[in-house]
């Protein structure tokens, strides 16, 4: 029981940090695309201290809930349900891969964009700020989807 609680706490903290980073990065990216300029810093502070923690808390609670539900499941079959774990469908894997790729792209873009005055400021800016994080994100999404597909194919039904 303590192992389940520990896993839920780790999932909560990981969900909190990931949700905070992705929501903050998405907010800053949206502002950059819309051309919004935050001269006094109030919107940035609100994004960091209000928007980020809110979505981080929501994603942390969701992650801990998923871990608790999966760990505390009794494993008894329900009438009309197939016995054993259901392998993820190709659509679910593709959706998960896209979500991982987009989240990683946003966070990497945020790190590169906020690199300060010594960041890239030339013709290569578009490639460095948009294409490299996008390629890494897509690669991580494909890798995650393949790993999930292999792990679900190896499990006995």
The Cβ-side half-sphere exposure at 59, using a 13 Å CA radius, reads 18
Say how many domains are in the chain: 2
Give the residue numbers spanning the domain of 57: 1-73
Indicate the residue among 41, 73, 105 that finishes a domain.
Answer: 73
User: Is pTM, for the whole model, over 0.95?
Assistant: no
Average pLDDT over residues 40-63: 90
Tell me: do 89 and 32 sit in the same domain. Answer: no
For 82-127, what is each residue's pLDDT tens digit? 556 666 677 777 777 778 888 888 787 777 776 665 555 565 666 6
For 132-151, what is each residue's pLDDT tens digit? 777 887 888 888 888 877 77
Distance in angstroms between the alpha carbons of the first and the last residue of the chain = 26
CA–CA dist 118, 153 (Å, integer): 47
């Amino acid at each position: 029981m303590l192992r389940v609680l520990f896993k839920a706490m780790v999932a909560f903290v990981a969900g909190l940090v990931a949700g905070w980073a992705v929501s903050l990065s998405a907010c800053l990216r949206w502002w950059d695309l819309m051309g919004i300029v935050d001269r006094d810093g109030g919107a940035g502070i609100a994004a960091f201290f209000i928007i980020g923690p809110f979505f981080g808390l929501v994603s942390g609670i969701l992650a801990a809930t998923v871990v608790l539900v999966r760990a505390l499941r009794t494993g008894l079959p329900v009438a009309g349900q197939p016995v054993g774990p259901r392998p993820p469908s190709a659509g679910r894997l593709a959706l998960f891969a896209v979500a991982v790729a987009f989240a990683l792209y946003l966070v990497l873009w945020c790190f590169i964009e906020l690199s300060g005055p010594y960041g890239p400021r030339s013709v290569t800016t578009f490639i460095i700020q948009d294409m490299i994080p996008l390629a890494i994100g897509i690669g991580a999404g494909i890798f995650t989807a393949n790993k999930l597909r292999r792990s679900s194919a190896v499990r006995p039904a």
